[in-house]
Structure 1
Amino acid sequence: MAYPRGIDISSYQASSLAFMQTKKQQGARFAIVKLTEGTRYLNPKASAQITNGLKVFNSVGVYHFFHGYGLAEAKHFLGGIKAFGLDTSTVLAIDVEASDLPTSTTSQVNVFLKYLIAHGYKHVITYGSASWFNTGRIKRSALVDKHIWVAAYNNYAPGVANANAWQYTDNFHGVDASLDFDGSLSGTTTVAKPSYYQTPGLYEVRIGQIHAYNDLAAKSKRYVRLRKGSRIYGTPVKYGKITRLKTPLGYFTTNKAFIKFIKKAG
């Protein structure tokens, strides 16, 4: 089985029950809703998105888009959380990516996280791009809570060791999508491990698109990608504990969340 997939949405997306039901049919199992931003903004669709999300998904969390004012923004976020009646089991994420943030933002992220934790909300997670974590703009080692949600749009890995969740695409049927590795993002206690194909044959792409790589380690990306529904013959080859799909176009993922087996070769 694959890791559970979730969507994160804001006022740019729909809020109807039908929208949530469609996303579940397409493969989403939980949702994260933008609640607040800065010290004043409140997502006008948040109430309907949370209400309808809870009718469809096992879990709905909320996130705050951060601009660097730790205490003031945490108070604004918590005000929204309580106004919507979200209890302390809710997953709360801080979205750290704004262009106006300083080079080092960890100290103010900690102020934000500490405030939430002090008010009983223990399920917190910090979102940022792989480059921000790897260059130290967000210093995971210094965070008061080490749970991280990493954005890296590729079909192999988040690129940050031991990430708890991975936003792997910004176009899962038109929305951002993430995989939850250990329950930190979905709020679940049991999470299935990914599985990989072993059989040579014909494969079909499940998601929006996947990239080809020149090497098994997926360090050298090719200008080749296969879109959802594309089919290709290949042979899975071992790479550590997983496999990669060797094809005439390069190496692709064999992760069952991203690609599906159609038939054996020959």
Structure 2
Amino acid sequence: MRTAFSSHRSRPLVATLIGAVVCGVIGLATPVSAIAASSTTTDHELGSQIRLHEPVARAAVAPAGAAATVSGIDVSSYQGNVNWSSLWSQGKRFAYVKATEGTGYTNPYFAQQYNGSYAVGMVRGAYHFAVPDRSSGAAQAGYFVSNGGGWSRDGKTLPGVVDLEYNPYGATCYGKSQSAMASWIRDFTGTYRTRTGRDVVIYTSTSWWSQCVGNTAFAGTNPLWVARYASSPGTLPYNWSVWTFWQYSSSPIDQDYFNGAADRLKVLANG
């Protein structure tokens, strides 16, 4: 089992090969179609595909004006049962937890991670790994809200996040044109707002967004969580002038900043 401080990467191909070998050893006949279908429930964490495609500076760095930021983390099933008290003692004050992927995967550790972070005093939220070529934005937003991605005005629950990054299963942009991808995102964001009353946070990298979405603006409605593993967030995706969250490192666990003081983080939580 991986801990909160273990190295973590998504390895769907390795998992598939190991599964095939095990089935062969115990004498089970596994159809190729079944193996292929299993990839729909592979767990991919926030930024796992960005780190495969973009430069990564491994050292954790603090942004300029770090005194005006709040430190946090994001986790998925790879961290298993997290020691939240330890992370709190290290100064982490918010957490995002993977809830869902597509319309067929839920994080088996979600309850421990989501409730545990809340219990130690963190402001917490949930995220969804989008797979835009598998089903509609509305379908995935609905699945997310129904499986942990909802919101409540309790002062400690952040709006949900849609994770938009390189396709782990195939073509970078999921076989969609920029206009089609923008439409899919609008379908997701609109549905999430209808279901929760909140605007979902968009997690992405500038490079992926420029290639797959282009010059469609979501900055007027959706907060930005930018992924860039360097000493600064750099150039932001189209039309965003400010970042709300920044994932700046994946070592020894995904490291994030909120762009503001603790009281502003609570304002975001309260809507």
Which secondary structure does the structure 2 equivalent of 1:63 belong to?
Answer: strand
Structure 2 residue runs without a partner (length 5+): 1-66
Which secondary structure does the structure 2 equivalent of 1:8 belong to?
Answer: strand
* Residues 70 and 134 of structure 1, relative CA distance in 2, 3 Å threshold: same
Which secondary structure does the structure 2 equivalent of 1:47 belong to?
Answer: helix
Which secondary structure does the structure 1 equivalent of 2:266 belong to?
Answer: coil
Greater relative CO (CA pairs within 8 A, separation 6+): 2
Structure 1 residue runs without a partner (length 5+): 191-266
Among residues 13, 17, 28, which one is paired with 2:79 in the alignment? Answer: 13
The separation in 2 between residues aligned to 1:24 and 1:138, in whole angstroms, is 38
The separation in 1 between residues aligned to 2:261 and 2:196, in whole angstroms, is 19
* Residues 117 and 144 of structure 1, relative CA distance in 2, 3 Å threshold: farther
Given that 2:202 and 2:223 are in contact with CA atoms closer than 8 Å, whether structure 1 keeps it comes out as: yes
Write the mapping of 1:58-97 to structure 2, written as runs, cut at 5 A. 58-68=122-132, 69-81=136-148, 86-87=151-152, 90-97=158-165
* Residues 4 and 32 of structure 1, relative CA distance in 2, 3 Å threshold: same
How far off is 1:138 after superposition?
5.6
Greater helix percent: which structure? 2
* Residues 162 and 135 of structure 1, relative CA distance in 2, 3 Å threshold: farther
* Residues 176 and 139 of structure 1, relative CA distance in 2, 3 Å threshold: farther
How far off is 1:9 after superposition?
0.4
Given that 2:258 and 2:265 are in contact with CA atoms closer than 8 Å, whether structure 1 keeps it comes out as: no
* Residues 143 and 72 of structure 1, relative CA distance in 2, 3 Å threshold: farther
How far off is 1:72 after superposition?
1.3
Write the mapping of 1:106-185 to structure 2, written as runs, cut at 5 A. 106-135=182-211, 137=213, 139=215, 141-142=217-218, 145-160=221-236, 161-171=241-251, 174-182=252-260
Which secondary structure does the structure 2 equivalent of 1:119 belong to?
Answer: helix
The separation in 2 between residues aligned to 1:95 and 1:125, in whole angstroms, is 9
How far off is 1:133 after superposition?
3.2
1:189 is matched with 267
Q: Which moved more, 1:103-112 or 1:63-72?
A: 103-112
What letter matches 1:72 in structure 2? A
How far off is 1:182 after superposition?
4.2
Given that 1:114 and 1:144 are in contact with CA atoms closer than 8 Å, whether structure 2 keeps it comes out as: no
Given that 1:150 and 1:158 are in contact with CA atoms closer than 8 Å, whether structure 2 keeps it comes out as: no
How far off is 1:59 after superposition?
0.6
How far off is 1:55 after superposition?
0.8
Write the mapping of 1:180-259 to structure 2, written as runs, cut at 5 A. 180-182=258-260, 187-189=265-267
* Residues 10 and 140 of structure 1, relative CA distance in 2, 3 Å threshold: farther
What letter matches 1:6 in structure 2? G
The separation in 2 between residues aligned to 1:158 and 1:90, in whole angstroms, is 25
* Residues 24 and 103 of structure 1, relative CA distance in 2, 3 Å threshold: farther
The separation in 2 between residues aligned to 1:183 and 1:39, in whole angstroms, is 35
**Normalising by the residue count of structure 1, what TM-score does the alignment of the two structures yield?**
0.62
Write the mapping of 1:30-49 to structure 2, written as runs, cut at 5 A. 30-49=94-113
What letter matches 1:109 in structure 2? I
The separation in 2 between residues aligned to 1:23 and 1:29, in whole angstroms, is 9
Structure whose CA Rg is larger = 1
Q: Give RMSD over aligned pairs.
A: 2.6
What letter matches 1:130 in structure 2? T
2:46 is matched with none
Given that 2:68 and 2:259 are in contact with CA atoms closer than 8 Å, whether structure 1 keeps it comes out as: no
Given that 2:204 and 2:225 are in contact with CA atoms closer than 8 Å, whether structure 1 keeps it comes out as: yes
How far off is 1:135 after superposition?
4.2
* Residues 108 and 66 of structure 1, relative CA distance in 2, 3 Å threshold: same
